[in-house]
Structure 1
Amino acid sequence: MKLKSKHYYIRKSHRYLGLILGVQFLFWTVGGLYFSWNDIDEVHGDHLRKEKRHFPASLNLVSPHVVLESIKDTKQVDSVLAVQLIDINGMPAYQVRYFSGEMDHSAHNEDGHMPAQSSNVKVQLANAETGQLVSALTEKEAVNVARAQMADPIKVEKVEYLTEVGSHHEYRGKPLPAWAVTFSQPDNCTAYVSAELGTFQSIRHNQWRVFDFFWMLHTMDYQGRDNFGNILLRAFSIFGLFTVLSGFVLYFVSSPSVRKVKKRTLKAN
């Protein structure tokens, strides 16, 4: 039986590798084109938002210590994570994040920081002018916060209260619970407001959703979108390298020019 040449096996391996990887290469190329032709600020929805407002220098605020003492009257405060001055519908407010109870070190993010919704991190809002404690945002307050973010306030179509979201949800990885305020336009726009933090979190619209879909195809992380170290991506990267190398090898073993050079070299020897 006649043995098949090495050229045959190289061509065959290159063909099948190209077939397997071709679809993913197409996704990477189309995704890359979409990323490069879209302004990332517009993808984030910055063009839909008003310019950020600042507090006047004449603002008369109580000390955060007053708020902390009020919290300690009813709750256990082990240590303070952060105190931030925020705006809640025109009211200056303190957003106090503090630890209460035993520290759960497993709850840290990959960057080492404690997420806002960790079980032992509590949040308390307070009127920064009076020191009076304030409850988490109601639906009406959250809608007003969302509308205040929009450059052109428009009709509210739907409001949802989110206590949990899946790994594919467009609000994944953000503080919960949250209010999702969907507007009639533009581009099926939804603004997300954290109930406990009292602040706007993000805007999601159709352009972002298309970007997110291509981002999933680009990273090949079909669980949470953002894991660049997943096994599937690593495997396709290695196979992609083999495909390119096999193409170079196939060129050198089948190129007439290379064969002529080899023949001249053999004759010279």
Structure 2
Amino acid sequence: MSAAARISGKVHKWLALVMAIQILFWFVSGLFFAVVPIERVRSEHMVAEAQTSPIALADAAAGLQRVASAGAQPGERIELRTVMGRPMAIVTAAPGRPRLYDLRSGRRLSPIPATLAVAIAERDHIGEDRAAGVELVTTASPEYRGALPAWRVDFQGENAVSFYVAADTGAVSARRSTLWRVYDFLWSLHIMDFENHEDFNTPLLIIATALALVMIVTGIVLFPSRLGYNAWRRRRRRDARQPSA
């Protein structure tokens, strides 16, 4: 065995020992990501078909007039949408949080109460399941980084799905199930960001990837020796030096 092969063998062996667990995490999580459809992870199959109700421009103009008459502050952007079958306006001004108004009454609805958040989540959720619990979320977490504050509406069942409803707009901003939580956990192992589960430029990941690259290179150097090519070449040289009979 050549000196390069001996050195590569030692480096390869110790790096394989150090990196075995993380490489296992990479392969297991990568297989999971490849097998499980991302649509199921996002719980898109649990979303009820939306019942669209177009808002006539005349009704929108009259509704905005009622909103203005009720003393609403101006905004830089106005978005029209339907919430629970009623025409609404979302008025946004920077800085500041979005404000949700009922165009029929001109009344401000945001931040929406828990009862309305539950009704929105149940309307968005496919099937006959009803909410089992509701909780106000005011801080971001690995599970939810959407608009805050938000209502977390939990549904019973094997999927343990939770719908997050933004308190300022009434929009369903996220859906989280057991499958999503498994996916997120494996993602944290895959990118080696064990705290926030989103940073794939961490020094730990860079170091681990560099060590894995060195392990692969040393394995390539060892490949001819492990196949017996070096021994075969030495025999050929030895036979070539021996005088023929």
TM over 0.5: yes
In 2: Cα distance, 1:258 partner to 1:197 partner? 70
Q: 2:205 aligns with which of 219, 233, 248?
A: 233
Q: Give yes or no for contact 1:86–1:199 (8 Å, CA) kept in 2.
A: no
Q: Give yes or no for contact 1:94–1:128 (8 Å, CA) kept in 2.
A: yes
Aligned: 1:206 with 2:178: yes
Aligned: 1:246 with 2:218: yes
Equivalent residue for 1:47? 45
Post-superposition Cα deviations, 1:32-91, rounded to whole Å, max 9, x if no partner, equal: 1111111111110011110122123657523386478568x565x5x61x3222222111
Tell me, which stretches of 5 or more residues in structure 1 are unaligned? 100-119
Letter in 2 for 1:233: L
> How many Å apart are 1:184 and its aligned residue?
1.3
Q: 1:257 aligns with which of 223, 229, 240?
A: 229
Q: Which has the higher helix share?
A: 2
Aligned: 1:224 with 2:196: yes
Bigger radius of gyration, 1 or 2? Answer: 2
In 2: Cα distance, 1:57 partner to 1:176 partner? 27
Aligned: 1:128 with 2:103: yes
Letter in 2 for 1:84: E
In 1: Cα distance, 2:106 partner to 2:60 partner? 6
Equivalent residue for 1:150? 125
> How many Å apart are 1:137 and its aligned residue?
0.8
> How many Å apart are 1:10 and its aligned residue?
2.3
In 2: Cα distance, 1:18 partner to 1:226 partner? 26
Q: Secondary structure in 2 aligned to 1:181?
A: strand
> How many Å apart are 1:164 and its aligned residue?
1.4
Letter in 1 for 2:173: Q
Aligned: 1:141 with 2:113: no
Equivalent residue for 2:83? 88
Give the alignment's TM-score, normalised by structure 2.
Answer: 0.85
> How many Å apart are 1:179 and its aligned residue?
0.6
